[in-house]
Amino acid sequence: MTKKIKLCIFDLDGVIVDTAKYHYLAWKELAKEFGYDLTKQQNEKLKGVSRVQSLKLILQWAGVSKSEEEQKILAAKKNEQYVKLIQSLTPNDVFPGVREFISELKDNGILTSIGSASKNTRLILEKLEITGLFDYIVDGTMTTHSKPHPEVFLKSCEALNIKPENTVVFEDAPKGIEAAKAGGMYAIGVGNPDELSNADMVISGFEGFGVKDIMLKKN
Ligand code: B16
Ligand code: MG
């Protein structure tokens, strides 16, 4: 990163909080209805993928065909269950180091935003009591293209009037890293380096991580 950092965009699920476990439970229950056993490994492939696209993938894996109308009903049913599950989220579910890192960004005059595929973003942020930490929030209700399209990240740049080249994206999904790179942003993977090899750098989490660590890794 050679340019000045002016904005950090955070993906939600897998970067700020682990909601993937609830997505998994809700999808697993739904898949049971058509006699399919969704595995944890398959759930990994759904990270960062929109609700509708996730359902299409599961139906494909199960070899089950449903009309668009039926798919709408199934997706709504999954979401109903998912929303029930995430009611248990509390401020303690925010990943370690996230608040401290964001506070450091603020001290350095760096803007912050969310770029998530989830249409439940607002509810999750409220449950975690961190809505106010972000200067802008882009969620699945505001986009027409799914990651790896860069729309979900570019919208924050536009709204906050920051160039993509001055923006860093934190993402846990390869498709999200692809989206950040497609938008001309610096992409930091959060998770396993083997799965996020397309990122500019990969971190295991935010504990002990600071702005200086981004500057140090020049590309
Ligand atoms: P919803 P992210 C993504 O969140 C999840 O990783 C993905 O599993 C989910 O299908 C998607 O949000 C849509 O979520 O059903 O709540 O609209 O990683 O983009 O923050
Ligand atoms: Mg994610």
194 counts as catalytic: no
pLDDT of 218 strictly over 90: no
Instruction: Report the pLDDT value the prediction gives residue 99, as an integer from 0 to 100.
Output: 98
Instruction: Provide mean pLDDT across the span 2-11.
Output: 90
Q: For a substitution probing ligand 1, which of 47, 89, 123, 155 has the most ligand atoms within 8 Å of its CB? A: 47
What distance in Å separates the CA atoms of residue 32 and residue 34, rounded to the nearest whole number?
5
Paired strand residues for 138: 115
Ligand 1 pocket, 48 CB below 6 A? yes
pLDDT of 216 strictly over 80: no
Ligand 1 atom nearest to 119, measured from its CA: 17
Greater model confidence, 218 or 53: 53
11 counts as catalytic: yes
Which pTM does this prediction carry? Answer: 0.95
pLDDT range class, residue 9, cuts 50, 70, 90: very high
Reading the block at residue 150, the tokens are 């860069």
Q: Which CATH class is domain 20-86?
A: mainly alpha
Instruction: Report the pLDDT value the prediction gives residue 3, as an integer from 0 to 100.
Output: 74
Contact between residue 6 and residue 112 where contact means Cβ atoms under 8 Å apart: no
| Range scoring the smallest mean pLDDT among 2-6, 17-21, 176-180, 213-217 | 213-217
Superfamily name with CATH number, domain 7-17+91-215: HAD superfamily/HAD-like (3.40.50.1000)
Amino acid at 120: N
Percent of the chain with pLDDT over 70: 97
Reading the block at residue 209, the tokens are 């991580």
Query: Domain spans of the chain?
Result: 7-17+91-215, 20-86
Pairing assessment for the beta strands 201-203 and 186-190 based on DSSP bridges: parallel
Q: Look over the chain and give the mean of its residue pLDDT values, rounded to a whole number.
A: 95
Contact between residue 185 and residue 164 where contact means Cβ atoms under 8 Å apart: yes
Q: Phi and psi of 56, rounded to 5°?
A: -60, -40
Ligand 1 pocket, 117 CB below 6 A? yes
What distance in Å separates the CA atoms of residue 121 and residue 205, rounded to the nearest whole number?
20
Short-list 9, 82, 7, CA closest to 51: 82
Ligand 1 atom nearest to 147, measured from its CA: 19
Give residue-wise pLDDT tens across range 57-111: 999 999 999 999 999 999 999 999 999 999 999 999 999 999 999 999 999 999 9
User: Is the CA virtual torsion 8, 95, 202, 108 positive or negative?
Assistant: positive
Contact between residue 84 and residue 190 where contact means Cβ atoms under 8 Å apart: no
For residue 174, the SS3 value is helix
Indicate which residue's Cα is closest to atom 12 of ligand 1.
118
